[in-house]
């Protein structure tokens, strides 16, 4: 490898693979993780499908009802996030044997910069092979790894030989590697961008690389045009960042049946708001942007957001905004399938100082601290803010 050695490690069908490991009777069967209680017939979406299920066209984020239609004989399981998180933690410990430059992308994938580790452990492909071997031997799971001089190339490479693959792109081979791949592999190339590329006569990344940079700037604007120009030629100098500040924190729920009663929906939204506020305080974070998500019967989804003057992390500050956003977006004649709330534009706050940024802290902070103490001792949900909803309903 050349100047940099970047790995992208992607666990293969992670949730489903863990379930197969825990229950060998599942081996060889289509397995879908993410079902709601009605054994795959009802609500929710697919979190992960194993490779046997993917042969039926089942993939992540697909409605469970559609997965069931395609393969009713599959085994449908609810996620066990504590188990998956613990295994993810142990896999990260394997990474840490080789480098401390680790950038987690999700529970089952991460970028690793092993440039400085080559003298001790061998070149990038050797380190990748050692990581794969350790994961297989210690966790009885497989990972696919891309090894290249940049994050962009490594990420694409890890996806080209799944499962249990190792794809290496040597320095100087980036444009040749990218040339035959479809434009959809370019980061940021969504449906609108793909249509513009089609009008420019491009179907592959190699064809994009032949375009003059000015053509791309005119077609996509300075920022996106420059990005596509660079990425299509394999140029990506972004570092692996090992200490990310979380960008958002949210919760959502899918109802067992589509709900017409708005009081039921608002109570669910209030409960989700309490969970988000508690999580923010536990992580010593506060957020300035409140987003409410709604999905109607028929799967149409809308979001509404508002940015506050100061970051907040108590339900007393978040709930009135969330409720107002919900009511502004609501279509009373439609039943609600899913509701969620997210806080973004996050800032870190000092430990033990809820709503540090807010000028009128006091009662809210003391209430929040008391609720946190009770939740720690007796479990979440011990104390709720139902009075907030009741007050709103009385107006």
DSSP codes, 222-283: HHHHHHHHHHHTT---PPP-S-PPP-EEEEEEEEEEEE--HHHHHHHHHHHHHHHHHHHHHT
CB 61 within 8 A of CB 45: yes
Q: For residue 23, give the H/E element and its range.
A: none
- CA pair distance 184, 187, nearest whole angstrom: 8
SS3 helix, strand, coil % of the chain, rounded to 5?
45, 20, 35
SS3 label, residue 291: strand
CA 337 to centroid of chain Cα atoms: 21
The single residue of 19, 109, 139, 266 carrying the catalytic annotation is 109
Q: What is the DSSP letter of 204?
A: B
* 32 beta partners: 49, 76
Could you confirm whether 109 is annotated as catalytic?
Answer: yes
How many residues does this entry show for the chain? Answer: 395
Tokens 């709503």 belong to residue: 355
Phi, psi of 210, rounded to the nearest 5 degrees:
-85, -10
- CA pair distance 313, 361, nearest whole angstrom: 11
Hey, which residues are catalytic here? 109
């Amino acid at each position: 490898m050349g100047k940099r050695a970047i790995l992208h490690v992607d666990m293969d069908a992670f949730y489903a693979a863990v379930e197969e490991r825990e229950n060998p009777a599942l081996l060889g069967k289509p397995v879908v993780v993410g079902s709601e209680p009605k054994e795959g017939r009802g609500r929710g979406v697919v979190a992960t499908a194993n490779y046997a299920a993917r042969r039926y066209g089942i993939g992540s984020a697909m409605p469970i009802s559609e997965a069931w239609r395609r393969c009713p004989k599959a085994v449908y399981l609810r996620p066990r996030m504590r188990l998956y998180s613990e295994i993810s933690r142990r896999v990260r410990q394997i990474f840490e044997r080789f480098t401390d430059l680790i950038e987690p992308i999700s529970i089952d994938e991460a970028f690793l910069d092993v440039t400085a580790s080559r003298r001790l452990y061998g070149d990038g492909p050797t380190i990748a092979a050692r990581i794969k071997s350790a994961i297989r031997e210690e966790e009885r799971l497989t990972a696919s790894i891309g090894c290249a001089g940049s994050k962009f190339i490594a990420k694409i490479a890890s996806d080209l030989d799944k499962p249990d693959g190792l794809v290496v792109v040597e320095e100087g081979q980036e444009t040749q590697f990218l040339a035959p791949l479809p434009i959809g592999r370019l980061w940021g190339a969504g449906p609108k961008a793909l249509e513009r590329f089609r009008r420019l006569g491009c179907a592959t990344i190699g064809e994009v690389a032949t375009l003059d940079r000015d053509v791309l700037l005119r077609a996509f604007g300075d920022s996106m045009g420059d990005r596509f120009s660079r990425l299509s030629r394999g140029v990506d100098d972004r570092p692996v960042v090992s200490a990310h500040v979380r960008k958002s924190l949210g919760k959502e729920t899918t109802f067992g049946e589509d709900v017409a009663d708005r009081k039921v929906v608002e109570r669910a939204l209030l409960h989700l708001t309490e969970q988000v506020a508690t999580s923010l305080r536990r992580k010593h974070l506060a957020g300035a942007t409140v987003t409410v998500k709604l999905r109607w019967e028929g799967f149409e989804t809308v979001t509404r957001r508002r940015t506050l003057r100061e970051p907040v992390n108590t339900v007393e500050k978040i709930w009135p905004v969330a409720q107002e956003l919900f009511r502004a977006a609501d279509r009373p004649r439609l039943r609600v399938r899913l509701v969620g709330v997210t806080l973004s534009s996050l800032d870190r706050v000092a430990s033990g100082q809820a709503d540090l940024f807010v000028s009128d802290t006091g009662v809210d902070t003391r209430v929040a601290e008391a609720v946190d103490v009770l939740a720690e001792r007796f479990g979440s949900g011990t104390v709720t803010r139902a009075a907030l909803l009741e007050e709103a309903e009385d107006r």
